Structure 1
Amino acid sequence: MLKDIYPLYLNNRAQQPNADLEVTDKYTGAVAFRVAQADAGIIDEAIAGAVRAAEPMARLASYERQAVLDHCVRRFRERFDELAYALCVEAGKPIKDAEGEVSRLIDTFRIAAEEAMRMYGEVQPLDISPRAKGYQGMWRRVPIGPCSFISPFNFPLNLAAHKIAPAIAVGCPFVMKPASHTPLGAIIIGEVLAETDLPVGAFSILPAHRDGADLFTEDDRLKLLSFTGSPDVGWALKAKSGKKKVVLELGGNAAVIVDRDADLDDALERIVFGAFYQSGQSCIGVQRILIHDTLYDRFRGMLVARTESLVPGDPKDRSTVIGPMISESEASRLEEWIGQAVASGATLLCGGRREGAMLEATLLENVPRSAAAYTEEAFGPLALLSRFSDFGAALEEVNDSKFGLQAGIFTRDLFKMFDAWDRLDVGGVVVNDVPSYRVDNMPYGGVKDSGLGREGIRFAMEDMTEIRNLVIRRD
C-alpha cells in the first residue's frame, strides 16, 4: 500500500532531493507520508526538459500516444485499491467517493486513448472568388508545445487526469504542480507514466515550494497554463501569465431549481448527494436550492430529515458520508459564514456545529443575498434553501451570482428546459439532476468568475493544439 516517503518526478524520472512536504491524514491530523518538494532550480530544469521534449513528443505516432494511455488505464485498474486508499487519506474523502474518483480517473485516460486517434483536420475550398481560383486549402491541429498544469486538492486524481491525459493524447510535454495538501495522486500517476517510453522531458510532476513556483505561470517557454482552483488565485495567475494561452477552471455557488412537477423522492436523493458528497468540497456542489412555493414546506422537511441522517466520521469507514474538510481553517471559515448568515436573519435548519476539520452537513433558509454564504463559494457541507413561485424569477435568481459554472433543474416541462438552457448564464445546464453531475467526455467549464475555456478530453485537446494551415496553388 502506501509508502512513507515519495519522490517528485523530474523529466520522467523519480528524484528524492528531500522529503520536506508533510502530507497529513486529513481525519486524524497525523503525518501520513512525506513527499519531495521542488525548488526554483528543479522547476527550471523541468521546463527546459519539456522544451527539449516538444519535438519528439510532437513526432509520436497516434498509436504510440494511445499505447501510453492504454498502459495507464491498465495500471490504474491494477492499483485501484491503493489509489482509492491514498485519496481517502490525503484528501479525507469518504472511501466510497474515493473509489468513484479512481473509476473516473480510469474513464478519463480511456477516453483520451480513444481521442488520440482522432486528431482530425479539414480540407477547405478556397476558390471563393476569381482571385482564388486554383487554390486549395487544408488545415490540421499540431501540439501547442510545453504546458504548465496546476491542479487542486479536491479531486487530486481526476482533475490532474483532465490535464495530463489530453496532453499525452496530442503530444504536449508538461510540468505539473499538484496541490500541496494532496500531492500523492499525481505522484502515483507519475510512477505509472515513468513505466512508459515517453521521450525524456515529456513530464515532470513537482510539488513545489513557494520559492520558484511562479515559474509555472510566468516562464515564457511554457505555451499554455491550465489552472484549476480558487477564482482569486486563478485570475491573479492569468494576469501574470504573459503571452501564453490560459485555461481556468474556477469556483462556483451552483444552484438547482425544483419545479412544481418534480419527482421529489428522486430530487431528494440527488440534491443531498450533490450538496454533501466529499463534504461539499466541489466547485459544482449544490449550494443554492430553489423550491417551488407549492412544494416548499414538504420538500424542506424531506431535505432536513435526509441531511440529518448523513453519517459523519472517519472517511475510511464505508458507512461515512461526511468526512473532514481539507483543513481546520477551512472548516472554521465556513462555520463563521454560517454564523454571520444566522446573525443577519437566516434560519438554521440543521447542522452548523464544528469539531476540528469536521463540520456538520448544514442547511440554511432565508439567507440574505448580501451574506458571504450566498455570494461566495462555500466549498463545504452547506446548502441554502429559498422558495419561488415564478419560473422566470427563479432563473433570474440562479443568474444572481458572479459565478456561472453549472445549474440543475428538476422539471418535466420541455419548454422550461429549453428556456433555462437559453437564459441561464452558466457553462452547463443539467435537467432532472444536480449541477454536480459531470461525465468526463463532456465539455465542462464556466463563465463569469468561474473561468475560461473548457475541459473534457476532446475540448482540452483543442486548447492544447494550434491550427496549422496549408495552401496549395494548383494552377
Structure 2
Amino acid sequence: MTDFSKQKLAESYPYYLANKAVFANSDLEVSNKYTGECATKVALADAQVIDKAIAAAEAAQPALNKMPAYERQAILEHCVTRFKERFDELAYALCIEAGKPIKDAQGEVTRLIDTFKIAAEEAVRINGEVIELEITARAKGYSGMSKRVPIGPCSFISPFNFPLNLAAHKVAPAIAAGCAFVLKPASRTPIGSIIIGEILAETNLPEGAFSVLPCSRDGADLFTTDERFKLLSFTGSPDVGWALKAKAGKKPVILELGGNAACVVDHDTDIDDAITRIVFGAYYQSGQSCISVQRVIVHESIYDTFKKAYLEKVSSLVEGDPLDTDTFIGPMIAESEAKRLESWINDAVSKGAKLLCGGKRDGAMLSAAILEDVPVDCDINADEAFGPVSVLSKFSTFDEALASVNNSQFGLQAGIFTRDIYKAHQAWDELEVGGVVIGDVPSWRVDNMPYGGVKESGLGREGIRYAIEDMTELRLMVLRNPKA
C-alpha cells in the first residue's frame, strides 16, 4: 500500500508556453480542498501570453502535418510510460487539488493511462477510403480517395472534476491526429494538466505544438474568439458552454456540458446489485460527475424494499479526509458549491420533499443525501446537482419510467436495470440521451466509447476515435483516367 504521507506538491508550478516551462509568477493559489489551506502556487497566464501560445501553435502546425503516425504514436507511448512511473504523484496531486478520495484519484490516473494508450493505438489507424465514383456514364474513368488531415490548432478548456482524464480526452486525440493545441485547465485544479505538460515537454513535439496555460476566466477570451484556432473543445457548465459557442465564430465547437442523469430500476432487478452500483454511481467522488446518478426511478412493486436498503447503504458511507483510504465522500470543490447544493436541498424540503438522510454541511463537506417526493420543477431534480445527492421516485409502467427520464432539459447518459431485452431495446430507441447503459449506472464509462450528449448536455462526442474525427477533416482526391 502506498504511503502518501511521503508525497508532497512542489512549492510552485510553471505554465507551459510553446513546450517550455515558464515560472512567470506565483499568482494562482491552489488550495487543499479538504483543509482549505494553500497547497501550492501556479504561474498564471495573461492575454499576451495566450496570444503568443496561439501564434506558436499556428507556426508549429506545418511540422505536425508532416509528422508520421509512428512518431505521434511514440510520443503518446512515452506519456503512458511516464504516467505509470509518476502514478502516485499524480494521484496525490489530484487528491489535494480536487479533494478527490484517494481511491477515486488512483482510478482517474488509471484512466489517464488508458486514454493515452488508446490514443497511441488510434494514431496509426487514421484511415481514409476508396470511393466508387462511376455511378453514371459521365463519371466513367473517375475514381476517388479520401484521407483525414489535421484540422489545425485547437483550443481546449477542461473542468475541475476530472482534471487529468478530461484534459487527456482533448490532448491525447490531438496528438494522435497531429493538431497543435493550447489547453486552459480549470483554475481550481491546474496541477495535473501542468504535469502532463511537463511530460510532453520531454518529447520531440515541434516547438509550439502545445501550451498549458492556467488563466483567469476574464483573461481567456482568446481561447474562444481567436480565428487562428480551428476547433474549440469545452467541458463544463451549460451556461458557460453555450455562451462560448455563441462567441466562437466559424470554428467547430465541441461541448460536454453535463446533466441530471437518471437510473431506472425495474421490478425484475437484482435489488442488491442495483443498489451497490447506484450508490457508487450517485456518490463516488462526492457526486461531482456530469453522469452522476441524480434521479433514481424505481418500480412501485419494489420501491419500499429498495428504499430501505438504499438508505442503509448511503447512510454508512464514510466521509472525511480524501487521503484516508476508507473515505468515500470527500469535500466538494469549494464551500460555495456545498452551500449551493445545501440550499437546493432545503428548498426542495420547503416545497414538500422528504430528506431521508444526509444534507448536513460543514464547510465544503456535505453529507450524502437522499430525497423523495421532490416536485419535478425543484432545482435538485430539474437542474444539475453536481454533488452527493440523489432523488428517489417510483413508476408503474415502463413507458412512464422512460417518460420520466426524458422529462429533462439534459440528455447525457441513462442507466436501465432490467432483465427484459425488449425493454432494453425500447429504452435505447426512445431515450433522448447520448448513451443508454443496460444493467448498470449512467456513470459508467470506458475511454474508447463514444461519449457525449444531446439537448442541453452538449454537442459532439469524446472517446479517442470519435474525437479524432472532430480534430481532422476529410480531404478528397479525384483521379481521372483519360484512357478509360
| 1:392 matched residue in structure 2 | 399
Give the whole-Å Cα distance in 1 for the aligned partners of 2:34 and 2:125: 43
Residue 204 (1) aligns with residue 231 (2)? no
Q: Deviations over 1:377-407 (max 9, x none)?
A: 0000010000011000100000000000000
Residue 306 (1) aligns with residue 279 (2)? no
The one of 327, 336, 344 aligned to 2:343: 336
| 1:165 matched residue in structure 2 | 172
How far apart are residue 212 of structure 1 and its match? 3.0
Q: Deviations over 1:33-58 (max 9, x none)?
A: 00000001100000000000111011
Give the whole-Å Cα distance in 1 for the aligned partners of 2:65 and 2:116: 19
**Equivalent runs, 1:41-440 vs 2, <5 Å:** 41-440=48-447
Equivalences, count: 475
Q: Deviations over 1:312-343 (max 9, x none)?
A: 00000000000000000000000000000000
Taking only the aligned residue pairs, the percentage that are identical comes to 68
Q: How does the TM-score come out when normalised to structure 1?
A: 1.00
Q: Deviations over 1:399-423 (max 9, x none)?
A: 0000000000001100000000000
Give the whole-Å Cα distance in 1 for the aligned partners of 2:312 and 2:98: 27
**Secondary structure of 1:90 counterpart:** helix
Q: Deviations over 1:361-389 (max 9, x none)?
A: 00000100010111100000010000011
Give the whole-Å Cα distance in 1 for the aligned partners of 2:309 and 2:30: 39
Counterpart of 2:227, as a letter, is D
Give the whole-Å Cα distance in 1 for the aligned partners of 2:258 and 2:310: 25
Give the whole-Å Cα distance in 2 for the aligned partners of 1:148 and 1:347: 44
Give the whole-Å Cα distance in 1 for the aligned partners of 2:190 and 2:310: 35
**Secondary structure of 2:63 counterpart:** helix
How far apart are residue 210 of structure 1 and its match? 3.5
Give the whole-Å Cα distance in 2 for the aligned partners of 1:96 and 1:55: 42
How far apart are residue 241 of structure 1 and its match? 0.2
- Give structure 2 stretches of 5+ with no counterpart: 1-7
Counterpart of 1:408, as a letter, is G
Residue 463 (1) aligns with residue 460 (2)? no
**Secondary structure of 2:477 counterpart:** strand
Give the whole-Å Cα distance in 1 for the aligned partners of 2:344 and 2:156: 31
How far apart are residue 203 of structure 1 and its match? 0.2
Give the whole-Å Cα distance in 2 for the aligned partners of 1:455 and 1:408: 19
Give the whole-Å Cα distance in 1 for the aligned partners of 2:125 and 2:193: 26
4+ aligned runs moved over 6 Å, structure 1 = none
| 2:450 matched residue in structure 1 | 443
- CA-atom RMSD in angstroms: 0.5
Segment of structure 1 superposing worse, 376-385 or 208-217: 208-217
Give the whole-Å Cα distance in 2 for the aligned partners of 1:99 and 1:169: 25
- Give structure 1 stretches of 5+ with no counterpart: none
Counterpart of 1:397, as a letter, is S
Give the whole-Å Cα distance in 2 for the aligned partners of 1:229 and 1:84: 22
**Secondary structure of 1:156 counterpart:** coil
Counterpart of 2:358, as a letter, is G
| 2:14 matched residue in structure 1 | 7
Q: How does the TM-score come out when normalised to structure 2?
A: 0.98
**Secondary structure of 1:164 counterpart:** helix
Give the whole-Å Cα distance in 2 for the aligned partners of 1:218 and 1:299: 50
Counterpart of 2:265, as a letter, is V
Give the whole-Å Cα distance in 2 for the aligned partners of 1:341 and 1:72: 46
CA contact (8 A) 1:40 1:211 kept: no
**Secondary structure of 2:16 counterpart:** strand
CA contact (8 A) 1:39 1:211 kept: no
Q: Deviations over 1:428-471 (max 9, x none)?
A: 00000000000000000000000000000000000000000000
**Secondary structure of 2:169 counterpart:** helix
Give the whole-Å Cα distance in 2 for the aligned partners of 1:19 and 1:210: 17
Give the whole-Å Cα distance in 2 for the aligned partners of 1:263 and 1:201: 54
Give the whole-Å Cα distance in 2 for the aligned partners of 1:401 and 1:226: 24
Distance 1:293 1:210, change over 3 A: closer
CA contact (8 A) 1:157 1:185 kept: yes
Give the whole-Å Cα distance in 2 for the aligned partners of 1:285 and 1:165: 24
| 2:3 matched residue in structure 1 | none
How far apart are residue 211 of structure 1 and its match? 4.4
